[in-house]
Amino acid sequence: MIEIFEELFEQLGTSMTAENIELIKCDPNCHIWFSDGEVFTTSTDLTHMKQQIEKIEGRAGFNSYIDFLQESQEHYEQSITHVLKKDFPDFLSLLRPRFLRYLFKLHPFHSVWQRTSHFFRFHKVRQVFTLGSMYLGMSPFEIPGTYTLLQYTELTGGVWYPRGGFYRVGRFVIYSKIPG
């Protein structure tokens, strides 16, 4: 979600480049080791992902992956537009007509595990594509399905880390530029 960081710095009147914050792409994204010794490696490279998925899911698995990414992209885009960039000062503000129109498309009443299970047949692949729930400290069986957006951002945009760690970004935002 590099664009979120870029937008934040822009709102503060600067840029990551101007503040000497360099982002480094992790490639591949992640290696996942299963108890039977099998390894699944996630990446933004579609050819690589096709091989990884078809090894477990078979030929139809890659089409399911593309469908999963399309739904997850919808979760991401609608969440950015209708949730992340909006204020919800009270419970009633959730009832905005523009927001309600997208509510069911975001699958908040399904879990990430249920959404992933809709696309993939095998347990291992479901585990791979629900791993992002750990970022929020939640179980994939409990976290709302909307959060497949986390997998979308990693699988399409990659995993990026600031040289020197996230501490550098947080320190800049807190101490350098926020008025007051």
**What is the pTM (predicted TM-score) of this model?**
0.86
Among the ranges given (40-54, 72-86, 105-119, 123-137), the one the predictor scored with the smallest mean pLDDT: 72-86
Which one, of 128, 135, 170, 178, lies nearest residue 21 by Cα? 170
Residue 142 CA to residue 136 CA, distance in Å, equals 11
3-state SS, residue 25: strand
* 64 — pLDDT class (breaks 50, 70, 90): very high
For residue 105, give the H/E element and its range: none
Would the CA dihedral through 143, 148, 151, 49 be positive or negative? positive
